[in-house]
Structure 1
């Protein structure tokens, strides 16, 4: 599903923040991405989401060389990837329901066909009483859960989550991890970036550890 070969990344004339990354992410796989602050986790996620281009090396996604993709092809590739951003990126003029349903609207589905599905997911993540609320009245943890629901609602082929349990209590963190595990069992490849060692210890999964811009893999 994803292939990196000798990938390096630098911003401007500075030193490389990612160095010689070579690894694969297989279909229907589950992995954690961890490492100290400043190690380059967010930069790696941005490469995986095609929001950045590498300075050198090759990245393949869904069997395509990303360097050969045209700008017109990028949206179709990105629709196959769900992503949970640390800053949530909810649209302020949409309700919680409308934010979560947005990927389905983009796919052309009618609301009558997805209303029950979105409502059930919002209840499952503890937002059943916040369906009609706008982002400005949601807490940080509520925004995070809405962002997670939006990322998984369309059952993407590949899910990227950047610190998805950073603003919730341990009980809810376990519940959200179960959601990611169930999505994985349904066929989605999942990569969760986290500092939470206790969370990673709850599930036996591959660990990608970034340190000083280099990747170490523990299967």
Structure 2
């Protein structure tokens, strides 16, 4: 699904912030991405989401090298990837339901074709009673779950989550992890960027560890 070969990234003329990254993410796989703050986890997620280009090396996404994607192809490729940002990026003037349904609205889908799916997913993440509430009224954990639901609604082949449990208490973090595990069992590949060792101990998966811009892989 995703393959990195000797990938490096630098900004301008500065030193490389990521160096010699070589790994692959198979379909239906589950990985953690971890490492100290400033190690480059968010930068790596941006490379995976095709919002950054590497300085060197090759990245292959869904069987095609990213250098061969035309600009017009990128939106379609990104629709196959769900991403949960640390800052949620919910639109405050839209209800929870409308935020989660937004990817379908952008695609021009008629609401009758997705309304039931959005409601079912909101219930699945525990927001069935909050679907008509605006984001400023939601708690941090509720915003987190809304952002996750929005990333999942189009049934992506790959889900990238940047510190998805960073703003919630341990019981809710475990609940969210179970949600990701269930999603993976349904066929989506999952990559969770986290520094929460206790969370990773809850579910055994391959670990990609970044430190000083380089990666070690632990089975």
Give the shorter-chain TM-score range.
over 0.9
Partner of 1:113: 113
Q: Taking structure 1 as the reference length, what is the TM-score of the superposition?
A: 0.96
Trace 1:119-134 onto structure 2 (pairs within 5 A). Answer: 119-134=119-134
CA distance in 2, matches of 1:180, 1:153: 13
Trace 1:30-45 onto structure 2 (pairs within 5 A). Answer: 30-45=30-45
SS in 2 for 1:44: helix
TM-aligned CA deviation for residue 108 of structure 1: 4.3
TM-aligned CA deviation for residue 114 of structure 1: 2.4
SS in 2 for 1:31: strand
- Identify which range, 29-38 or 176-185, moves more after superposition: 176-185
TM-aligned CA deviation for residue 200 of structure 1: 0.5
Gaps of 5+ in 1: none
Whether the 8 Å contact between 1:155 and 1:183 is mirrored in structure 2 is: no
Trace 1:8-23 onto structure 2 (pairs within 5 A). Answer: 8-23=8-23
CA distance in 1, matches of 2:116, 2:173: 24
CA distance in 2, matches of 1:217, 1:190: 16
CA distance in 1, matches of 2:33, 2:128: 30
SS in 2 for 1:77: helix
CA distance in 2, matches of 1:107, 1:184: 25
Cα deviations across residues 184-209 of structure 1 (Å, max 9, x unaligned)? Answer: 11111100000111110111110000
Tell me the matched-pair count: 219
- 1:164 equivalenced with 2:164 (yes/no): yes
SS in 2 for 1:72: coil
Partner of 1:64: 64
Gaps of 5+ in 2: none
TM-aligned CA deviation for residue 183 of structure 1: 1.1
Cα deviations across residues 31-74 of structure 1 (Å, max 9, x unaligned)? Answer: 00000000000000000000000011100100111011111010
CA distance in 2, matches of 1:69, 1:113: 30
Q: Taking structure 2 as the reference length, what is the TM-score of the superposition?
A: 0.96
- Identify which range, 203-212 or 117-126, moves more after superposition: 117-126
Partner of 1:139: 139
- Identify which range, 143-152 or 113-122, moves more after superposition: 113-122
Partner of 2:85: 85
Q: Over aligned residues, Cα RMSD in angstroms?
A: 1.2
- Identify which range, 137-146 or 5-14, moves more after superposition: 137-146
